[in-house]
Structure formats: structure tokens, C-alpha cells
Amino acid sequence: MERSRIAVAGASGLIGSALVRSLAADGHEVVRLVRRAARGADEVCWDPDGQFVDAAGLVGCDAVVNLAGAGIGDHRWTDAYKKTLRDSRVLGTAALAEAVASLPDAPRVFVCGSAIGFYGETGDRTVDEEAPPGDGFLPSLCVEWEEAAAAAQEAGVRTVFARTGLVVARTGGAWGRLFPLFKAGLGGRMGDGHQYWSFISLHDEVAAIRHLIDDPALSGPFNLTAPQPLTNREITDAMGRVLHRPTVMTAPAPALRLALGEMAGDVLGSARVLPARLLESGFSFAFPGIEETLRAALRDH
């Protein structure tokens, strides 16, 4: 890919910061969206809650990537925090889509973050991008999140939805909390351990997003998950092998529901999601298996 100017919202998050590092290392010009006055040509002021974007700062961008959103696991899902989760995604995406659509020379692609929460509870059933949305808070949130990009789509901008699974990283995200527990010998399965977890290495997550940016033939939803989802029990066993620690502890479902409230459904729920369209597009995973994914995460600094 030739040198490009790429705007990234959510550039300080786990995925966004890794994406920015990757793009900058390859010589691309990265513009970060910031929630304060811009301090240079590499920043653009925006206020997702107020649905404001300084669209002038996006002029000349070849791509806009939106990875912004409040953390799903940062707080209990009170009504107030569920509103925060929704607004941080839906309002911000709508503002960016409208800004992109307003430009006389629009970016060639708008990559929108989304999540495999779109599919809800799948049990043992595998699902790909052809599956309809599930039921519950997360599926409805993901539907609204993706619909918020309508202005860019209607303006003819190639729009891609990156439905991300559980990103395996040494720090940040779910695994940033799991690694210390397992290293201390306090790790174990959650609930009965039969629920499927659809994971992806941080390396492959970034590579997949760049693949979606680069290929002009790609639009619509793409599942960003490793090719073979595993059960929580299988992942727990792999964590024990990689870290050389026992995994005899368990977190019973009632205790998780008491501690986490409604969010426990996301931990105990099963999402057996396949990256069908990503594989069909020619993407190759560097870390398709769980043990190599875990080892790659532990090597990252």
C-alpha cells in the first residue's frame, strides 16, 4: 500500500494504539481524533457525545477508522452505563459518517468498529456474516452501531464493519485481566466452561483492519476472529500449558452473575463465530491457534 493519510478515532485504545503504531511504522501519515483542541496537523478535534467533528481536519484522508467506544467490561451494566456504551458508539459513528459524507473529496473507505456481540448467544452453533442479529442488549447495540454509518454508505463511501471478537493481548481488554490471574495460579474456567470464545490475536486484529482498508473490493461486515473458536474450558487448559500454572479454580455462574450483573451473560454466553468473509478475501492469520496466540501476546511489550 502506498503512503496514505489515515484518520483513527479511538487511537488511544488497545486496538487503536496498536493500529497507529503499525501504520506509522510503515510510513503512513496518521491523524488522531482527540476530544480537545487539536495541537497539530496530526490531530482532529471531535466530540462524539455532542456529534461534532472538525471535518476540515479529515480533508485529504484516504481512510477513516472508527474504533472509539466506552469499554464493555469497565463497569457494571447499569442503565446509565448502558446508555454510555450506546452513545459512545452510535453517536460517534453517526458524527464521523456525516463528516465523511460532507467532504467534497471523500475518503475511499470508512472502517467502523463493531463486535461479534452482534450475534448474541449461539451455543454450539457456528455463525458467520450471513447470520442475523441475536437478541439482547449487545446485539441491539451492534445493530444500532452499524446503522449509524448510513450517511457514509449513502454518500457512496466504501464502508466496512469490523466485528471483532475477544482480542488476546498482554495488557488491555479481557486478557489483560486474565493473564495476571492465571500467572498467579488463580485462573480457571468460568461457569461450566462449555461456552465458546471467539478470540483473535492483537497482531491479526491489526493486520485484518489494514487488509480491510487496503482491499477496494471489500465492504460490509467482516468477523475478526481466529478460524477456530474454542470453549472456555479449552482456552483455560491452554492458558495453563502456556503459563505452566494450575487451572483448578472455577468461577461458578451464580457468583459471576452476582459480581458482574447483566454483563455476566457476556462472559457465560457462547459465541461460536467464524471469519468466513475474511478468509474468502484472502486474509492469512499469523496466529490461528490459541497457544501461538497466547505466546505472541506474552512476547508483546
Q: Confidence class of residue 251 from pLDDT cuts 50, 70 and 90?
A: low
- Do the Cβ atoms of 281 and 197 come closer than 8 Å? no
- Do the Cβ atoms of 275 and 227 come closer than 8 Å? yes
Measure CA of the first residue to CA of the last residue in the chain; give whole Å: 26
C-alpha 182/C-alpha 125 separation (Å) is: 29
Q: Which of helix, strand or coil describes residue 200?
A: strand
**Which pTM value belongs to this model?**
0.95
Identify the residue whose cell numbers are 483492519. Answer: 209
In this model, does residue 260 exceed pLDDT 50? no
In this model, does residue 259 exceed pLDDT 50? no
Q: Confidence class of residue 173 from pLDDT cuts 50, 70 and 90?
A: confident
Give the per-residue pLDDT at 255: 53
Identify the CA nearest to 274 among candidates 169, 125, 155, 161.
125
Give the per-residue pLDDT at 254: 61
Give the per-residue pLDDT at 103: 96
Ordered structural domains, the chain, with CATH: 5-299 (3.40.50.720)
- The rounded mean pLDDT for the chain is 92
In this model, does residue 147 exceed pLDDT 50? yes
C-alpha 134/C-alpha 142 separation (Å) is: 10
In this model, does residue 301 exceed pLDDT 60? no
Measured CA angle at 284 (ends 273, 29), to 5 deg? 105
**Average pLDDT of the segment spanning 184-213:** 93
